[in-house]
Structure 1
Amino acid sequence: MLVLPLIALLAQLIGAPIDELPLTPAGCLIVSPNLDALVTCLDTFTVPHDYYSQLTYAVAQPMPAQRVAFSDAVRTLLSVDGDCATKQVSSALVGLYAFAPFRGHCVLFETSSNCGTYAKGWGFAIVPARASGVQRMLHVSAPHPAYDLGTVEQAAAVYEGSGGRSLLVAGRKRTAFLASSGCVKGAPRRAYYMTDPAHNDQEPFFDASAALYAWQHAQPDGCVPGACAFLQLHGKGAATCPNDAVFISAGLSNSTVALPLYTTPMHPPARLAAALSTAFPSAKISTPATSRCALTATQNVVGRASNGVPPSSVCAQPARVRDVDGTWLHAEQSSAMRERGAYAAWVEAVKAAVAPVAVDVPREELGEGSGGGEVRVLVDAEHRVAPAAWSAWLLFAHYFALR
């Protein structure tokens, strides 16, 4: 491939390192040596603070046909199995988005930019290039790039290290347009902005999240608590819930009826909190059952939609306790927990909290003779196997812990 040598030659001619060259988003896929570098590069195109006016925001928003096409593109991405290079976006997205293979992954990304900023800012998504690369039905997202610093790289590390199903990153800083959200209003002194995808259902991140959720629940096994999760990563300021290094919620508060969600050991929020406590023994890992922190994500529109609220009602209707199974997880973190040094421990915690996927393995590979046939097993990130009987018991226990 001649492109990379030409870029290297250009860097030499102008006396700048390759990673300091002005790039297009497509250029990020050429010069990035690994997934961490790729998401860092793509994040540099995130639409910045106070960038939009009413007019420019309207221009950047997807038209109805583009909104449908963007959701369809996310679903197409999830169907990739060794054929990423052949995938095409629909005509409504031509010139704006593309699929591209990248070092064992398939990337859906915005190709258009203006002076180092995404022309649209609808975000990007990544999945394993082959179905065999999926080790957990885990969908990791970072809704607040350029604001909750470190969460983009952290989300990529958790997705890749755990063998996750997808990674989704928003394309606009939550303060890119400072008009108040027309969806979730927030408190008088804490308004939510139009470009905050956690509180505005008109942001494309919401559409992509809904597409991921619908795809997962359309699979034969759906989204079984304990073996499937949607993890949304956030960062909090030092003065907010200062005693909590990580605060895990599922979109419900600490009301009496909601507390079993956080106190039942096999329930996903409690399971993740326990795994994080093991991974970070000196940090306080909390849930609404153990902390009065107000960051419970009860107004998060993606959380509401994932917790049974109809998409058309997420701006006004909170989730009902009886509809919440804990598969949608919201993590608020201190800055220390978002540093690169914490990523490996985060990966181990997530691997412990979310069971690996089941696959069919020939009997002879398991030392069970050569009589033919296959055995259903769970495969973890190191490709070790667990007996199918244990797998069934684990999922059985998760199911009845929620009832």
Structure 2
Amino acid sequence: MKLINDAPFFNIFCVSILLFIGYNCTQVQAEIPTRSANLVTDFSGIKNTMPGRESEGFVPPTDDELANWRIVIQTMLAEDWDGAHALIQQNFPMYSLFRYTDTGNADSVYYLLKENSPVNKGWGTYVFAKGYQRQLVIEAPHPWYDTNTYKQAPDVFRLTGARYLIMAGTHRCANNEISGCDGTSGSCGGPYKISDMAHSVHTFFHVTHEEIVAFNARTYQVQLHGHSQSTCEDIFLSNGHRTSVSDELLALRDQVLLKGGLTCNVAGLSQCGLVASSNVQGRYTNGVKSDPCNTYASSGNITEYFIHAEQTRTVRDNPGQYKKFTDALNTVIPLAANQTAVHSDNAKEPAKSFRLLNAYPNPFNPATTITFELQQPVTVSLQIYNEKGQRIRELVRDKILSPGSHSYVWNGRKNDGEVVASGLYLVQLNAGHFQETKKVTFAK
């Protein structure tokens, strides 16, 4: 299958007809169909049409189909909806592109790529928000196997104001052909299957992930998974490496713990081994561009942008519980450039000077808010020390922040997640050549 522009042929044909009958003719392109429905409800229906376990219903796309899909996604990312619609009609008759009004989210408008029913490929569903709050993609690679992530993913997409949502179109064990990527899975038995979106690169799911990252490398990617392992917390987070974790990941953990009612930890600080080091989307984001199928990401290339979330059924089954994770995402992941920055109360109005304000409340338990002002863009570190001068927590590490007022919450925990002892602590702000320290008291 190849992309073909048949407009020149059509125009020549029209001119020929015009010469014979003296009548004007123009090429007519069908309009993008519209749909109004509840996105979460629709995704539940889509899940019910997916190829099931050992059904052999997932059909691996050909190289030509992957190449053509890449062009479709590039066109969607450029927000050329009509162009994408034409490409879909021409190359993928098994798919439809809808201008979708989400009746469950204040009539928000998305563009939704969906495989037609009956599903005979299992290639997935893709949503692009017309208006969005965060440069963020929510990914559900195992919507059938990781129970209820097919409902959780569209809900988290809406609650975070994410820009994209991609969901696999098949059970991870639907096709017995191996993917060729390293590692094995107890889920399907033996090597990873080609229908396992998190461990296969020859899929529309992975190509879409690649193109989103290529379009904007600062796109956060939150991939939702499920687990039932007793050694793992209710929510276990990683960046795709066994030990290297970002400040953002630690901040997410702290925010979830601050909500209460759930356990949460990160790779390297937990007994949980589900660190996603063989996840091909994580590898790609973390710098492995040439062969993410068989190459581990090095610790020096791990970024904050890939967030792998393993969750118990307690979380996935209960919107009230996974909303704690969603709220944490909204606190940690910044709003898009056309929005107000998450950690800045007044980012567009530079402060008159650099200064660290008194934390509030103080004394505190369980959390206090630390606010500082920046006169100009500068590299910032915000750290907590005990009375012995030992650094126990990094809230910000070498991050360039915009001018204005910025606030961060400290929940009274060390970097390893342990609650600190009662007593006096020092909050130190380093902003370029500026340094200031304030005292704060944790009272149990």
Same fold by TM-score greater than 0.5: yes
In structure 2, the residue corresponding to 1:140 is in which secondary structure? Answer: strand
Matches within 5 A, 1:340-355: 340-355=319-334
Q: Deviations over 1:115-143 (max 9, x none)?
A: xxx211111111212xxx21111111000
| Shift in Å, 1:169 | 0.4
SS at match of 1:120: coil
Structure 1 residue 86, shift from structure 2 partner = 8.0
* Alignment-derived partner of residue 5 in structure 1: none
- Partner secondary structure for residue 231 of structure 1: strand
Provide the C-alpha distance between the structure 2 equivalents of 1:76 and 1:338, rounded to a whole number of angstroms. 33
Change (3 A) 1:246 1:343: closer
Q: Please tell me whether the aligned partners of residues 99 and 112 of structure 2 are also in contact (alpha carbons under 8 angstroms).
A: no
Show the counterpart of 1:66. Answer: 65
Q: Does the alignment pair 1:273 with 2:253?
A: yes
1:386-397 equivalence runs, <5 A: 386-388=346-348, 389=350
Deviation per CA, 1:78-98: give whole Å up to 9, x if none. Answer: 3338x5798432565341223
Cα drift, residue 76 of structure 1: 2.4
Structure with bigger gyration radius: 2
Identity percentage of aligned residues: 23
The answer to whether the Cα contact below 8 Å between 1:358 and 1:378 also exists between their aligned partners in 2 is yes
Q: Deviations over 1:27-65 (max 9, x none)?
A: x985x631211221222222211111xxx75xx222222
1:92-171 correspondence to structure 2 within 5 Å: 93-103=91-101, 104-114=108-118, 118-129=119-130, 133-171=131-169
**1:337 equivalent in alignment to 2:315:** yes
Shift in CA distance, 119/323, structure 1 to aligned 2, threshold 3 Å: same
- Paired residue total: 320
Is the 2:257–2:264 Cα contact (8 Å) retained in structure 1? yes
Q: Residue 191 of structure 1 aligns to which amino acid in structure 2?
A: P
- Residues 71, 112 of structure 1: CA spacing in aligned structure 2 closer, same or farther, 3 A cutoff? same
Deviation at 1:174, TM superposition (A): 0.2
Counterpart Cα distance in 2 of 1:394 and 1:342 = 37
| 1:2-401 matched pairs, under 5 angstroms | 30=35, 33-52=37-56, 60-80=59-79, 87-90=85-88, 93-103=91-101, 104-114=108-118, 118-129=119-130, 133-186=131-184, 191-217=191-217, 223=218, 228-237=219-228, 240-254=229-243, 258=244, 261-262=245-246, 267-279=247-259, 281-310=260-289, 312-339=290-317, 340-359=319-338, 378=340, 386-388=346-348, 389=350, 400=398
Q: Give distance in 1, aligned partners of 2:64 and 2:136.
A: 29
Q: Which amino acid aligns with 2:135?
A: M
User: Whose relative contact order is higher, 1 or 2, with alpha carbons under 8 Å and at least 6 apart?
Assistant: 1
Q: 1:111 to 1:180 in 2, by over 3 A?
A: closer
Compared CA separation, residues 111 and 327, structure 1 to 2 (3 A): closer
Q: 1:85 & 1:210 partners in 2: Cα distance?
A: 20
Q: Cα distance, 1:395 vs. partner? A: 8.1
SS in structure 1 at match of 2:197: coil
Deviation at 1:251, TM superposition (A): 0.6
Which of the pair is proportionally richer in strand? 2
* Distance change >3 Å, CA 155–CA 385, structure 1 → 2: farther
Structure-2 change in CA distance of 1:64 and 1:147 (3 Å): same
| 1:399/1:39 CA distance change after superposition, 3 Å | farther
C-alpha displacement at 1:72, in angstroms?
A: 2.0
Change (3 A) 1:87 1:333: same
TM-score of the pair, normalised by structure 1: 0.72
Q: Which amino acid aligns with 1:387?
A: A
Q: Secondary structure at the match of 2:198?
A: coil
Q: Is the 8 A contact 2:238 2:249 kept in 1?
A: yes
Cα distance in structure 1, aligned partners of 2:324 and 2:379: 24
Instruction: Please give the root-mean-square deviation of Cα atoms over the aligned residues, in Å.
Output: 2.9
| Residue 80 to residue 241, structure 1, CA distance change in 2 (3 Å) | farther
